[in-house]
């Protein structure tokens, strides 16, 4: 199973790296309007989805670890909760920044 996941991730990485430059070739004919390919249009939405999945996984892992440590040491629960909220806010801030960057990829400009 791990081998399949590694293969799928490597395949997706290769597709994302090589698909956009290969399909970005515009037309040189002045009478034909150059429309962007579907891969370039789709790349911003795909990136936004990856950002959302990554942020959800990160905050879930953060909350899980924090709750487990609070259960083990209830006397430091306040400090752990404060650190958890600050870390979650930093993850959310980066997530919003990354979503804005992904949504700025408008090929029709």
Which pLDDT band, with edges at 50, 70 and 90, does 85 fall under? very high
Higher per-residue pLDDT: 12 or 66 = 66
Q: For 55-77, how does the pLDDT look when each residue is reduced to its tens digit (9 = 90+)?
A: 999 999 999 999 999 999 999 99
Class of domain 36-109: mainly alpha
Number of H helices, E strands in the chain: 3, 0
Higher per-residue pLDDT: 63 or 47 = 63
- Measured in whole angstroms, the distance separating CA 85 from the mean position of its chain's CA atoms is 21
pLDDT value of position 8: 81
pLDDT value of position 11: 78
Tokens at 33, concatenated:
């309007």
- Mean per-residue pLDDT for 76-105? 89
- Measured in whole angstroms, the distance separating CA 65 from the mean position of its chain's CA atoms is 22
- Mean per-residue pLDDT for 24-48? 63
pLDDT value of position 62: 94
Q: What angle do CA 90, 105, 14 make, to 5 degrees?
A: 85
pTM of the model as a whole? 0.59
pLDDT value of position 80: 93
pLDDT value of position 13: 73
Domain limits of the chain?
A: 36-109
- Mean per-residue pLDDT for 48-57? 88
């Amino acid at each position: 199973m791990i081998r399949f996941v590694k293969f799928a991730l490597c395949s997706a990485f290769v597709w994302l790296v090589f698909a956009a430059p290969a399909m970005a070739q515009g037309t040189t004919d002045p009478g034909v309007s150059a429309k962007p390919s579907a891969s370039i249009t789709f790349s911003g939405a795909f990136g936004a989805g990856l950002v959302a999945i990554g942020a959800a996984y990160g905050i879930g892992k953060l909350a899980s670890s924090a709750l487990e440590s609070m259960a083990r040491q209830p006397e430091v629960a306040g400090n752990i909760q404060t650190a958890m909220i600050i870390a979650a806010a930093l993850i959310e801030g980066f997530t919003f920044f990354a979503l804005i960057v992904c949504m700025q990829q408008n090929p029709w400009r």
